[in-house]
Amino acid sequence: MGRITLGRYFGLLAIYAKMDLAALLRDTKFMVIALLSDICADISGISGVFLLAWRFDGIGGLDKYEILFMLAYGGIVNGAIGIFDHGNASFPSRIIGRGQWEHMFIMPLPYSIQMLAGFSPFTCSGRFVSGIVLMCVAVTNLGTQLPWWWLPALAGNILVSMVIVVGLSYLVSSLAFYAPVQCEEISTTVRYSVEYTATFPLSGMPPYMKIPLLTIFPAGLIAWLPTLVMLGKTPILANIYPIIFAALLSLAAAYFFKKGFRHYVKKGINRYHPGGHRS
């Protein structure tokens, strides 16, 4: 596997987008229903927190539209990851635990490109679209004049949050190299737990609850703290903390994932019988 150029990478994204469009056109009715279902599921999933904020005119120092902004931000982060998540690319423990890692050996592309080249902008964009719509509603009702740099800063914060989510998934997935059967769904459990917890604002929580959610289990870095940053409610140090955390988490995930992979290369997977079927 040699290096791949940036042009070739975007070419692969275009191929995936073309296949995704073909899937949409092949059964448009079903795909539209699936997209609408995703949007309804996403809105219903965050409606409980927003209705509480609406009833009490805010939660933990954030008013109802600031809470809506936070919920929309989390939806955009997870929706954007979903658009690029092909074949469980953001759930690597599934690939490892199911013995599919070996299938990638014969592909004429580096592992990183195989994991990053997926792109489904048509059939997997429901959550991303609903997040953007809700954020537009929230920003419109905030009643503040946004500076010119606000949108680039928002895009940068979303990217940092995505790195934290995916980095955490890869970090815990490194355990699947050592115990593929037991840890097949560890990334799923961690991802969904972080995703659900991220819908709750941490502003009113005591430090002994807030600190773990900003460090060990960084659900607060997925939506809550970035929302405070974008709304100008944090000091300078808090503005750069997610970036530092994302960088350190990425380094840790890369180290332990490579270490687990080296173990996997030597030991292989013990999940298949000589006949080929999975235990």
pLDDT at position 170, please? Answer: 95
**pLDDT per 10-residue tile (average), the chain, 279 residues:** 72 89 86 84 85 86 91 94 86 87 77 81 88 93 85 95 96 93 91 91 88 94 93 83 96 95 79 52
In sequence order, what are the residues at sequence separation of 6 or more whose Cβ sits closer than 8 angstroms to the Cβ of residue 157?
226, 229, 230, 242
pLDDT at position 118, please? Answer: 82
In the numeric block, the tokens 């791949």 are attached to: 4
Which H helix or E strand runs over 83? helix 64-84
pLDDT at position 270, please? Answer: 61
Which of 204, 236, 246 is CA-nearest to residue 77? 246
Which of 112, 122, 90 is CA-nearest to residue 26? 122
Global confidence as pTM? 0.89
How far apart are alpha carbons 17 and 4 in whole angstroms? 19
pLDDT at position 277, please? Answer: 47
